Amino acid sequence: MKVALFVPCYVDQFYPQVGIATFQQLQKLGVTAAFPPAQTCCGQPLANSGCEREALPIYRHFVDTFQGYDYTIVPSGSCVYHVQKHFDKLEQTPAVQHVRATTIDLIDFITQVLEIKELPGAFPHKVGLHLSCHGQRGLHQANESEITPVRDGHLRRLLASLDGIELTELNRNDECCGFGGTFCVSEAAISGRMGHDRVQDHLRNGTQVLTGGDMSCLMHLQGIVRRQQLPMKVMHAAEILNGMVV
């Protein structure tokens, strides 16, 4: 299997350890991912800002960069969703269709392609799982509270397989964090309040480590945690699954 790793812009610039953890975790599972040096962005920031026409050259470059791989693995549900759903703006050549179908979130690759349901390791902390809107409602990685009260999902099951871990039971399990890409810029006050509410739910229920599969949401929540100097660590799920120690 020939796979590539796509590292989102904000991960590359601010959280390189997440990209490294993703690569290392894949290696532990017997998958060696290439890192095409020509990769840039998926085009989501421009599209979110209402400039999707200007993003089309970025879309084409993404396709050119990753069309030769069986899978393109991404530690970010929002980027994956954008490639799968927004690249419909391109002419649907075989290359475009292939890239849209094979760009996949890290957690989905582990659980759906490799069919791994549990991982070895220990993480003896109380962990709060943040479900990103793109991952949950866009990629259907977890149950939705408006449909069923059962709390289940791909990442939740992987985390639960680690020794010593305790998953936080939140009052509002799948509420949005307020990041929303450029929403946090155009509607900063609303975005900040939504993030504050999310963090308070975790704090109220004893979360020690806040995690998720989308670093953009976690970046937003981490900013609130830091500014308020709260006793909570924020980590991408790839870091936990790869065995990073708090």
Give the CATH number, domain containing residue 137.
Answer: 3.40.50
One domain, residues 188 and 211: yes
Q: Report helix angle 188-204 to 215-227, nearest 10.
A: 80
pLDDT at 7 over 80: yes
Q: Which residue from 220, 225, 171, 219 is spatially nearest to 191, judged by alpha carbons?
A: 220
pLDDT of residue 208: 98
User: Are 31 and 66 contained in the same domain?
Assistant: yes
Q: Does the residue 118 lie in any domain?
A: no
Whether 164 shows a pLDDT value over 90: the answer reads yes
Last residue of a domain, one of 61, 87, 113: 113
Choosing from 113, 148, 164, the residue where a domain stops is: 113
pLDDT at 66: 98
Q: Does residue 12 form part of some domain?
A: yes
**How far is 81 from 74, CA to CA, in rounded Å?**
10
Find out whether 213 and 155 touch, Cβ atoms under 8 Å. yes
Q: Is the pLDDT of residue 115 over 90?
A: yes
Predicted pLDDT at 146: 80
Q: Look up the domain containing 225 and give its range.
A: 126-241
Q: Are residues 50 and 156 in the same domain?
A: no
- Mean local confidence (pLDDT), 229-237: 97
Q: List beta partners, residue 122.
A: 163
For residue 127, report the phi and psi dihedrals to the nearest 5 degrees: -115, 125
Predicted pLDDT of residue 8? 95
Domain boundary (85, 113, 141) is at 113
What's the pLDDT band for 148 if we cut at 50, 70, 90? confident
The reply to whether 176 falls in a domain is: yes
pLDDT by residue (tens digit) across 98-111? 999 999 999 999 99
- Flag whether pLDDT at 181 surpasses 80: no
Query: Is the pLDDT score of 73 beyond 90?
Result: yes
Position 226 pLDDT exceeds 80: yes
- Does 245 score more than 80 pLDDT? no
Question: Mean pLDDT over all residues of the chain?
Answer: 94
Do 131 and 236 share a domain, yes or no?
Answer: yes
pLDDT at 137 over 90: no
- pLDDT tens for each residue of 165-175: 999 999 998 89
Q: What is the pLDDT of residue 178?
A: 85
The DSSP line for 21-56 is: HHHHHHHHTT--EE--TT----SHHHHHTT-HHHHH
In a domain, 201, yes or no: yes
Instruction: Give the CA distances from residue 137 to residues 40, 77, 80, 156, 185, in Å, rounded to whole numbers and listed in that order.
Output: 26, 10, 13, 15, 23
CA distance 171 to 122: 26
Residue 8 is encoded by which pair of tokens? 């989102």
Residue 120 lies in a domain: no
- The 10s digit of each residue's pLDDT in 23-46 is 999 999 999 999 999 999 999 999
Would you say the C-alpha torsion 127, 244, 215, 134 has a positive or negative sign? negative
pTM, 2 dp: 0.93
Residues 150 and 187 in one domain: yes
Same domain, 150 and 77: no
Residues 7 and 101 in one domain: yes
149 and 189 part of one domain? yes
Instruction: Say how far apart CA 244 and CA 246 lie, in whole Å.
Output: 7
Task: Please check whether residues 166 and 86 belong to one and the same domain.
Answer: no
Q: Which of the four pLDDT bands, split at 50, 70 and 90, describes residue 182?
A: confident
Q: How many domains is the chain partitioned into structurally?
A: 2
- Domain assignment of residue 173, yes or no: yes
* Residue 191: per-residue pLDDT: 87
Distance CA 175, CA 163 (A): 27
More confident residue, 155 or 135: 155
Cβ atoms of 104 and 113 closer than 8 Å: yes
Could you tell me if residue 121 is inside a domain? Answer: no
Say yes or no: 130 and 178 in one domain.
yes
Q: How confident is the model at residue 14 (pLDDT cuts 50, 70, 90)?
A: very high
Residue 9 forms part of a structural domain: yes
Please indicate, yes or no, whether residues 98 and 158 belong to a single structural domain of this protein: no
**Do 94 and 154 belong together in one domain?**
no
